A = this chain, B = another copy of it.
Amino acid sequence: MPKAKYEQIYKDIKQKIESGDYAYSELLPSENILIHTYDCSRNTVRRAIGMLVLDGYVQTIQGKGVRNIFRPVAQNSFVLGGIESFHESAIRNNKTGRTQVLQFMEIIADEKIQARTGFPLGSELYYIQRLHFLDEKPLIINHNYFLKSAVPGLTADIACHSIYDYIEHTLHMTIVNSKRIMTVEKITQVDEKYLHLDVNDYNCVAVVSSHTYNSDGVMFEFTQSRHRPDYFRFQDNAVRRIN
């Protein structure tokens, strides 16, 4: 449902790259050709290409052209990337996902929670603890804090399906960006119990902490995700900038 023209062009070129229509390390058609292909202005083509650069799909070279540097990844583990829910990830990785709600409660942010999550003191929050299974294997424990005023009406029933689905399709709120920090931590007894980890095997988990904002610029979610280390895989593309 992307109405924007640059989105359509972006998706079309992306699909062509993924399906191998353009060979690895070869140049794409020039901007001029793409302008005629898609019947649009130069800026619009350039915007689509700019998004592919951010994806790490292509590289632009002044005076030469746009080079395809996309390489398909071996999809043998659970790959994290942009902002997406567990269910979206599961589908993208061609697996079946299931979620179990371990805890669901309403709390008020005290100093400790304020320091950990960044929510103002006294905020009314939902605290949810969930366990995510992929192909019936427990992979992730999530500790979610949602701002009640931004995500009203959350229930345990919704939490065991998809909270993001509820947020976007029922509340019609738009999720915009998410600041994430990845670290490695010692496993806790909770991790050990639910993720079926043995301290003699791995004694760490991969931890992703995220602050997520909606289209009003309000931070409405803080989540700490604790991942089984042997299934954790995070992908990223960094673009070098002048300082």
Contact: B69 with A219, CB < 8 Å?
yes
What string of 1s and 0s marks CB contacts (under 8 Å) between A157-182 and chain B? 00000000000000000111111111
Q: Majority SS of interface residues in chain A?
A: strand
A22 CB–B CB distance under 8 Å? no
List A residues 55-89 near B (Cβ within 8 Å).
56, 59, 61, 67, 69, 71, 82-83
Contact: A176 with B236, CB < 8 Å?
no
Contact: A61 with B242, CB < 8 Å?
no
Tell me how many chains of this kind the complex includes. 2
A237 CB–B CB distance under 8 Å? yes
Which of these, B2, B186, B203, B240, contacts A242 with CB under 8 Å?
A: B2
- A70 vs chain B, min Cβ distance (A): 10
* 29 interchain pairs, CB-CB under 8 A: A1-B242, A7-B242, A54-B54, A56-B177, A56-B179, A59-B176, A69-B217, A69-B219, A82-B240, A82-B241, A83-B238, A177-B237, A177-B238, A177-B240, A179-B235, A181-B235, A182-B235, A183-B232, A183-B233, A184-B184, A184-B202, A184-B205, A184-B232, A185-B229, A203-B203, A203-B204, A204-B204, A204-B229, A236-B236
